[in-house]
Amino acid sequence: MDFRGRVFLAPLTKGGNLPFRRLLLAHGCTVTMGEMAYAYQVVKRSKSELALLRKHPDETCFGAQIAASRAPDAIAAGLAAVERGALWVDLNCGCPIHDVVKRGMGATLLQRPTQLGKLVAEMVKGVPVPVSVKIRLGWTESEQNASEVSKAIEEAGAAALTVHGRTREQRYSRAADWDAIARIAAERSIPVIGNGDLLTWYETHERWRSSGVASVMIGRGALIKPWIFREITEQKAWEPDARERLAVYLDFARKLKEHFRDDEKGKERAMRFLPWHFEFFCRYRPLSAERFVASSREHPLMQTRFADDEQDLSVLEKVLRDHRSVVHQKLAELLWSAADLDAAVAGAEAIAIEFPAVAGEAGEMATAHG
Ligand SMILES: Cc1cc2nc3c(=O)[nH]c(=O)nc-3n(C[C@H](O)[C@H](O)[C@H](O)COP(=O)(O)O)c2cc1C
């Protein structure tokens, strides 16, 4: 596994489900990561947790992420991931949510660098593939200890380190601190993967080049624009119109169907995901380099709210930008049952009439997750 020169899909709980990863592969993603699995649940052979370690045969470069506080659990979960085809195992040290940190996992590990170093060293000894670690800058703004933590991780033998440029406390409230990411990349000799706020191909290349990181990682950008990986490779935007986007979402619905099966039970399971994905799909806006490159240098576009002030958006465009969950639910049900793209377009236009757009509301980019 070469951690340099790559564009990684970020581990995304719920969002990085297997059918969605297949969609990303179809749009140029080459390095995928699974959803975070709790090592202690893997040890208990929990079916739902083991399912998170599964990859699709088309995922030829797949890493599994685990959350752990104890080495025996981390090793057992790492081995289970390797048995299922993971090329590397990533340890989560960034998850901010209460249930995770209270069990000594996720971002809690940042507070104890020595203990973290021991855990990583045990994993490196016990797991037969490279071990990587994903961190945030620290617990709070005044406790930014990512330098010390990164040193401990490198000395413990980790093969790579991902830095999400925020603290645990910040969640998504601030722009990711790429200066801090650059400092850590300069201090370390293992590959550092930079992560935070990459939404366009030009921001990605700019951050990648100016920070000196070995690789970059994309989270919400992939949820909003599943085709972002191809844009980054080709260094040019694809600005699909509403019909073309609907075709992508329909393809995703079909992949969900293949995965969960085309029956009532399958639909019930798919509906835990498909409406949720529209919370991200609806944030898509064309952000051409010509118009936005200058402002993106001032402030990341991911963290910017865009009011829909264009006058003549089509009905279909409006409904795909709608951020109301009732509309997302309707669109998801439509895509599950639509026979083809024409039927999906007609159905989406009917939803637009049923739920007239609320004018002038800004798209909210930040989320409570991760
Ligand atoms: C829906 C969602 C789920 C996430 N789940 C995880 C996770 O399971 N493990 C993890 O390390 N980070 C998780 N994150 C954080 C992302 O991996 C990433 O570090 C963060 O979103 C910053 O990158 P971005 O600005 O490209 O989104 C999640 C983020 C989101 C939005």
Model pLDDT for residues 103-152, shown as the tens digit of each residue: 999 999 999 999 999 999 999 999 999 999 999 999 998 989 999 999 99
Task: Identify the pLDDT of residue 203.
Answer: 98
pLDDT of residue 222: 98
Q: Residue with the nearest Cα to atom 13 of ligand 1?
A: 370
Q: Supply the pLDDT for residue 369.
A: 38
Domain ranges of the chain: 7-234, 242-354
Provide the pLDDT for residue 307: 75
What is the model's pLDDT at position 286?
95
Write the DSSP assignment of 227-283 as a string of letters.
THHHHHHHTS-----HHHHHHHHHHHHHHHHHHH-SSHHHHHHHTTTHHHHHHHHTT
pTM of the model: 0.96
The reply to whether 95 belongs to the active site is yes
Distance CA 207, CA 172 (A): 18
| pLDDT at site 359 | 61
How much distance in Å is there from the Cα of 119 to the middle of ligand 1? 22
**What gap in Å lies between CA 208 and CA 361, rounded to an integer?**
33
- If DSSP codes are grouped into helix, strand and coil, which group holds residue 119? helix
Residue ranges lining ligand 1, Cβ < 6 Å = 10-15, 35-36, 65, 92, 94-95, 134, 164, 195-198, 218-221, 302, 367, 369-370
- Site to probe by mutation for ligand 1, drawn from 164, 181, 207, 283 as the one with most ligand atoms within 8 Å of Cβ, is 164
Cα(167) to centroid(ligand 1), Å: 13
* DSSP run (H or E) holding 47: helix 47-51
The CATH class of 7-234 is alpha beta
- Evaluate if residue 363 carries a pLDDT over 70: no
For residue 172, pLDDT over 90 is answered with: no
pLDDT bucket at 306, cuts 50 / 70 / 90: confident
Q: Which two tokens stand for residue 239?
A: 């600005």
| Burial (CB count within 10 angstroms: exposed 0-12, middle 13-18, buried 19+), residue 56 | middle
Q: Which atom of ligand 1 is found nearest the CA of 10?
A: 17
Please pick, among 29, 93, 95, 282, the residue that the annotation labels catalytic.
95
Residue 38 has pLDDT above 60, yes or no: yes
Strands (E), the chain: 7-9, 32-33, 37-38, 62-67, 88-93, 131-138, 160-167, 192-195, 215-218
pLDDT in tens, 227-242: 999 999 999 999 999 9
**How far apart (Å, rounded) are the C-alpha atoms in residues 346 and 310?**
23
Q: Name the residue at shortest CA distance from atom 21 of ligand 1.
A: 219
* Rounded average pLDDT over 188-209: 98
Residue 259 has pLDDT above 90, yes or no: yes
Mutational test site, ligand 1, from 90, 163, 220, max ligand atoms within 8 Å of CB:
220
pLDDT given for residue 360 in this prediction: 54
Mutation probe of ligand 1 site: the residue of 12, 167, 204, 225 with most atoms within 8 A of C-beta: 12
Kindly report, residue by residue over 260-275, the tens digit of the pLDDT.
999 999 999 999 999 9
**Cβ(325)–Cβ(275) under 8 Å?**
yes
Ligand 1 atom 9 nearest Cα: 11
- pLDDT average, residue stretch 60-69: 98
pLDDT attached to residue 12: 98
pLDDT at position 171 is 78
CA–centroid distance, 11 to ligand 1, in Å, is 6
Is 80 exceeded by the pLDDT of residue 367? Answer: no
Considering only CA atoms, which residue is closest to atom 14 of ligand 1? 370
Share of the chain above pLDDT 90, in %: 91
pLDDT recorded at residue 115 = 97
* Distance in Å, CA 267 to ligand 1 centroid: 26
CA 316 / ligand 1 centre spacing (Å): 29
